[in-house]
């Protein structure tokens, strides 16, 4: 294995050019011809809409946590599990999903995942109406599997569709679907709950995913086929033994932990400590994920264009800017200051989330790239899984101020580790 898969990945445009007459290369990459550009944009947009629908479904319980707690008679930790279950499922399912995607048609697997989202949404709605906590958790497990498959498969397909010198930018644009969905769920969840009852939040965003899937399916023809050079078991193991891959994974873990902590408990803090209404706090906290649209796209552009392909400066800046903002958050007393802190912290934290999936691909050979992305997803989402649950436990035991101080400490650790992050060869 090389330190970076770019040596083999850089050959993709040449293989694609050789495949102009057939439209596909041996590895399943569509020919990189000028006429493909509009289709590539449609592919990224379609995949992003599917992902945004899933992200809204994923985070929306956090926007109506007080309603869910009162209705089901549960505490903060159990309420956090409703959000965290999807991430916990993704932690377990991501690596197997990556191994499958390296060996099968990832386009068709993504289609099956979209169907799984519909099942999860309807199941969650029925469980919520019945007041059945554990069936609701089970529906979120199904949603977690759908999420991780869509995320890994879309990154794999988009990475194959573009040239290496634009890969970080293209993947960064796709990852912006996460904050779009989070902002949508945070801002509209209370409105959906007020109009249709809180269980309706679970199937409410499946329509967006369906529209995106229609566009994705049309524009992804010829992409996603099983690789001719699918990795052996030994090559799969090299991903897990790479110290660089593990470092990238830990940075993803810390970034996701910060991201989900603020998303999960920011609204409750503003409601309980500042005195905002549930709807107003949802709109304010929506600023935090929404700025990721700018941040995640900027991460690739900054790395590809400003820093000449270097990844480390963006990673250092991400944690270095986030740390002081999270540490002082509970000391801010006015709503404008809180909004400003959420905006800046959201931008900083999501720089890593936008770049890390391209970064980890470049640390391994091309034929295990999907596995490396799946590993990054798994380790990163472990932070997303633990953060809402641990955050709820700390809030219950010591209050919001201690919880935000601990979260800021994670950002400090991330800054130190980012200094040690290697550049891809």
* 291 — pLDDT class (breaks 50, 70, 90): confident
* Domain spans in the chain, listed from the N-terminal domain onward: 6-418
Residue 41's CB is within 10 A of a number of other CB atoms, namely 13
Q: How far apart are CA 281 and CA 270, in angstroms?
A: 6
CA angle 278, 188, 127 (to 5 degrees): 90
- pLDDT at residue 365, as a whole number: 81
Q: How far apart are CA 255 and CA 348, in angstroms?
A: 10
* Helix (H) / strand (E) containing 280: helix 278-285
| pLDDT reading at 313 higher than 80 | yes
What are the beta bridge partners of residue 379?
none
* 213 — pLDDT class (breaks 50, 70, 90): very high
Instruction: Indicate the length of the chain as a whole number.
Output: 425
Burial class (CB in 10 A: 0-12, 13-18, 19+), 243: exposed
Question: For the chain, what is the mean pLDDT?
Answer: 83
Instruction: Kindly state the DSSP code that residue 421 receives in the 8-state scheme.
Output: P
Q: How far apart are CA 302 and CA 280, in angstroms?
A: 33
Q: How far apart are CA 289 and CA 220, in angstroms?
A: 28
3-state per-residue secondary structure call for 60-121 = HHHHCHHHHHHHHCCCHHHHHHHHHHHHHHHHHHHHHHHHHHCCCCHHHHHHHHHHHHHHHH
CATH code of the domain made up of 6-418: 1.20.1250.20
| pLDDT reading at 420 higher than 70 | yes
**Mean pLDDT confidence for 178-186:** 84
**Tens of pLDDT, residues 96-152:** 887 787 778 888 889 999 999 999 999 999 999 999 999 999 999 999 999 989 988
| Nearest of 220, 173, 229, 174 to residue 5 by alpha carbon | 229
* 224 — pLDDT class (breaks 50, 70, 90): low
DSSP code string of 203-214? TTTHHHHHHHHH
Least confident of 151-160, 230-239, 302-311: 230-239
8 Å CB contact between 414 and 305: no
**Mean pLDDT confidence for 28-52:** 71
| pLDDT reading at 16 higher than 90 | no
Residue 5 phi, psi dihedral angles, 5° rounding:
-85, 10
8 Å CB contact between 55 and 174: no
Give the residue, 48 or 163, on which the prediction is more confident: 48
Q: Hey, is 221 helix, strand or coil?
A: coil
Q: pTM of the predicted model, to two decimals?
A: 0.71
CA angle 90, 88, 55 (to 5 degrees): 60
| pLDDT reading at 388 higher than 60 | yes
- pLDDT at residue 232, as a whole number: 67
**Mean pLDDT confidence for 21-45:** 55
**Tens of pLDDT, residues 234-290:** 777 888 888 999 999 999 999 999 988 988 888 888 888 888 887 788 788 888 878
| pLDDT reading at 13 higher than 90 | no
């Amino acid at each position: 294995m090389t330190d970076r898969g770019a040596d083999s990945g850089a050959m993709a445009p040449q293989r694609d050019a050789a495949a102009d007459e057939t439209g596909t290369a041996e590895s399943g990459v569509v020919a990189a011809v000028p006429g493909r550009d509009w289709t590539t944009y449609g592919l990224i947009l379609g995949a992003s809409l599917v992902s945004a629908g899933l992200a809204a479904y994923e985070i929306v319980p956090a926007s109506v946590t007080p309603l869910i707690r009162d209705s089901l008679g549960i505490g903060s930790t159990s309420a956090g599990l409703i959000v965290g279950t999807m991430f916990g499922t993704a932690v377990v399912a991501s690596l197997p999903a990556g191994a499958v995607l390296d060996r099968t048609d990832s386009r068709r697997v993504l289609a099956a995942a979209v169907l799984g989202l519909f099942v999860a949404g309807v199941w969650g709605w029925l469980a919520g109406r019945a007041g059945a906590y554990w069936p609701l958790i089970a529906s979120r497990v199904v949603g977690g599997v759908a999420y991780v498959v869509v995320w890994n498969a879309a990154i794999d397909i988009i990475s194959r569709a573009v040239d290496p010198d634009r890969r970080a930018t293209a993947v960064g644009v796709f990852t912006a679907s996460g904050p779009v969905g989070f902002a949508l769920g945070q801002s509209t969840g209370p409105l959906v709950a007020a109009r249709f009852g809180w269980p309706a939040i679970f199937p409410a965003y499946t329509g967006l995913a369906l529209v995106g899937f229609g566009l994705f399916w049309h524009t992804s023809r010829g992409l996603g086929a099983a690789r001719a050079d699918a990795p052996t078991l030994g090559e799969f193991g090299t991903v897990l033994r790479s110290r660089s891959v593990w470092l990238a994974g830990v940075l993803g873990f810390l970034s996701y932990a910060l991201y989900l902590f603020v998303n999960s408990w920011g609204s409750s803090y503003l409601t309980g400590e500042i005195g905002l209404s549930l709807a107003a706090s949802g709109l304010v906290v929506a600023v935090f994920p929404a700025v990721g649209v700018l941040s995640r796209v900027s991460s690739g552009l900054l790395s590809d264009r400003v820093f000449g392909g270097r990844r480390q400066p963006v990673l250092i800046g991400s944690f270095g800017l986030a740390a002081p903002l999270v540490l002082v958050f509970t000391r801010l007393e006015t709503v404008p200051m809180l909004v400003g802190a959420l905006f800046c912290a959201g931008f900083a934290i999501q720089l890593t989330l936008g770049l890390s999936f391209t970064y980890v691909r470049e640390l391994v050979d091309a034929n295990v790239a999907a596995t490396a992305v799946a590993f990054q997803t798994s380790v990163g989402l472990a932070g997303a899984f633990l953060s809402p649950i641990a955050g709820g436990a700390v809030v219950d035991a010591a209050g919001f101020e201690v919880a935000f101080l601990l979260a800021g400490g994670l950002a400090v650790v991330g800054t130190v580790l980012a200094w040690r992050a290697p550049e891809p060869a």
